[in-house]
Amino acid sequence: MSQEIEKYRKWIREREYARSRAIYYLGKAILQELGEEKGTALIVRQIEEWGHDDGKATGKANKSKGLDNSLKNYGSGGGVYDFAWVGSTKKSTGDESVVEFSYCPIAEQFKMLGEEAVMIGELFCNHIDDADIRGYNPDYECRRESSLNLNGLCRLHFMKKR
C-alpha cells in the first residue's frame, strides 16, 4: 500500500477517533448531570436525531445525482467506510444487506478510552445506523446484530420494513 494512501487512511481514522471522544465526553457529562435513566434517554434521542438528519442528507444527495433512495444506492460510492474501516458485505439483495466490520475507528477509540466509553459507545452504535437508514428512506431499518467491542464483530442487518 502506498504511503500516500496510508496517510489518508490514518487521517480519516484520527478524525473518527475525535468523533468518538466527543460522543464519550458529551455522553459522560449528560449522564453525570441527568442520571442514568434520563441521561440515556437524552443521548439516544440526540443520536437518533443526528442519524436521521445524516440519512436525509444522503437521500438528498442521491436525488441530486438522479438516484433513488433504494438500499442499493445507500452509501453508493463507498467513501470512508470502504477506506478506513475493515469489513465486507456478506449478503446483498434488493431489499436486504448484511455488512460485517472487524475494525471500526469509532469503536476502537471507545475501547481505548475504557469501559465507561464502551458503554456510551454502545448507545451510539446501537442507534446511529438505524436512525440513518430511516432518515434516508423510512421504508428501511437496520438491526445491529453484534458489537465489535462486545462480540468482536459488528454486524449490521439492513432490510426493508415488514
pTM: 0.91
Q: What is the mean pLDDT of residues 121-141?
A: 97
Q: What is the pLDDT of residue 2?
A: 86
Confidence of residue 84 (pLDDT cuts 50, 70, 90): confident
Total number of domains constituting the chain: 1
| CA–CA distance, 132 with 5 (Å, rounded to integer) | 28
Tell me which residue has cell 465507561.
116
The distance from CA 54 to its chain's CA centroid, rounded to whole angstroms, is 11
3-state DSSP call for residue 148? helix
| CA–CA distance, 162 with 160 (Å, rounded to integer) | 6
CATH number at residue 108: 3.30.1380
Q: What is the mean pLDDT of residues 23-41?
A: 98
Q: What is the pLDDT of residue 143?
A: 97
Task: Give residue 150's domain range.
Answer: 3-160
| CA–CA distance, 40 with 124 (Å, rounded to integer) | 10
